[in-house]
Structure 1
Amino acid sequence: MPSVIDAALLSRWTAESAAGLERRCAEIDDINVFPVADGDTGTNMLLTMRAAGDELRRRYREDGGPLAPGSPGCAEAAAALARGALVGARGNSGVILSQVLRGFAEAIGESKGSADVAVLRAALGRAHRLARAAVARPREGTVLSVLAAAAQAAVDTTATTVVDVAASAASAAAEALRATTSQLPELARAGVVDAGGYGLLVVLDALATALGRPAGEAPSPPPPPRTRTARGAEALTTNRESGSDRFSYEVMFLLDGTDDARVAALRMELGAVGDSVAVVGDGTPGGTGLWNVHVHCNDVGAAVEAGIEAGR
């Protein structure tokens, strides 16, 4: 059972996460009613995690494999995962997942020793702060609530091993996920838990599994919808985020050649064009690195032109 997080563990976690999301993909898509009832949260999180894994495997192929001399260290592997997720992020849920992986990359990169229990706690805390900052109008009862519970549990637990801390975080995430139904009116009407939170639970559960937690100790999945399927007329017409029922398009693009000031101006412009705005970067000082931009709108041209004004 691993006592620290290393590059090989990150590789196993990525594979376990992708496999878990693939198994649950249809189920997560089916309960996707917030912020937009478009039935793609599971698909978006799966594709984002696969993009992260593809980038990690690309690094391994170039450097000779995860355990070969000269292969990426833990910090390099975590950075590859974060970059792959940022570039390949799909939808709101994928953008948030990319920030979870960025949180791990930053915490591991800043650690001077091995990635131990303290680094895992720091990684979950950093992931929560980055994910919350990515959402223009955060609401309780979403994936952010689930991530907050996991991060807090990692801090509160008296566990002294990475597997036990990860298991505590996953258990707290499962409990928080069950509570989302009563926290958001949109979820209560459909009788479901938050789809993005469910996807995050799969990812956190995969981390505990990769670290060696016995399968019998995995948290129970969320309860099924009160109705046979959540994708009935009521779910599909549920209220979206403020104003979302007016917008027909989801626009995403990558942005570089910019800086923090222009990104801040871009966020404001996109907020005037549409909603569900998420603009997240790779953490390069001054904002000069790569950014992933997301907005729901009607005027696609205006959103793209705002990006052109902000950078490349």
Structure 2
Amino acid sequence: MSIGTWLIVAGAMLYSVLTVTPLMRAHTPDAWDWTAPILPIVVDAAVVIVVRLDSVLARLGGKGGPWPVALRWMTGVMTLALNVADSALTGDLVGVAVHAVAPLLLIVTAETSLAYRQAITAAVAALAEQEAAERAAREHAAAERARLAREEREAAREAAERRAREEREHAARLERERDERERERAREEREHAERMRREEWERAERQAAERAERERQREEREREQRRREQQQHEHEQRERQRHEREREQAERERRERAEREAAERAALLALGPAEEKRSEDLALRIVRAAFTEGLPVRGAAELTGWSLGWVSARYQDLRDAHTPTAPRVLEEAAA
């Protein structure tokens, strides 16, 4: 309740300062505008003092008389008047209602919290009186119980002597029974130990058999792994041999093809200078052989009987169709 009351008081004070300060600034000379927040702060400080002292008096169960009531209502009315004054002067009824909420809530909260604290203090006092009465009753009951206890101790002493004899007899009987139980427990422990040794031996045998089985399975897996690796190695070896044979076959075919092409070029170049213009197909084959062997354009023209321009154009086509790796001597000769 204290936290809630102080939250409402703090909120109302902040709202009052923000609302009243513009009113005071409007009715204060310009040179003294900085004093505008002083009046709402002073009024709200009086509210804080009233609420705080009311809470202290209520907690102690005291009463402050009529002056605290007058101060509480006076500060509440002043706060209400200062908050609604600006809206009332301009005839804004809605503003009056809105700005009256915080002061009215503060007035009612102060009165209500005081009533609650007084009621709580009265309840706490009544509870303390009830606890005191209960404590006195408990003390009287304790004294009565002490008297009865003395009487009971006398009777208990006699009963204790009787119980002592019975207990000695009972202890002797228990001793005999305990000896019997000890012998029975020793026999059961021996049987249990024998059973545990037998179970441990059987478990050791099972573990040995399981280890042997796991070892056998591991060896089988290793053999299977080695077999697969051997097969993989043989397969890779066969693949390498096959690739090697294919590469050798391709190299042999390439050499044979190169030899045939070289022989064909040699035969074409061995035809010698043409006395007349050769056929276009034969001329193209001679030009291709001459280009490959690096002959100049003029020498190819003599072998084909075609013009230098036609042979140069065919040389250019061959250069465009191939990677430019022709010998430099051929280019110089063509130039």
TM-score of the pair, normalised by structure 1 = 0.23
Q: Of the two, which has the highest radius of gyration?
A: 2
Q: Which is helix-richer, 1 or 2?
A: 2
Q: Which has the higher contact order (CA 8 A, sep 6+)?
A: 1
Q: Which is strand-richer, 1 or 2?
A: 1
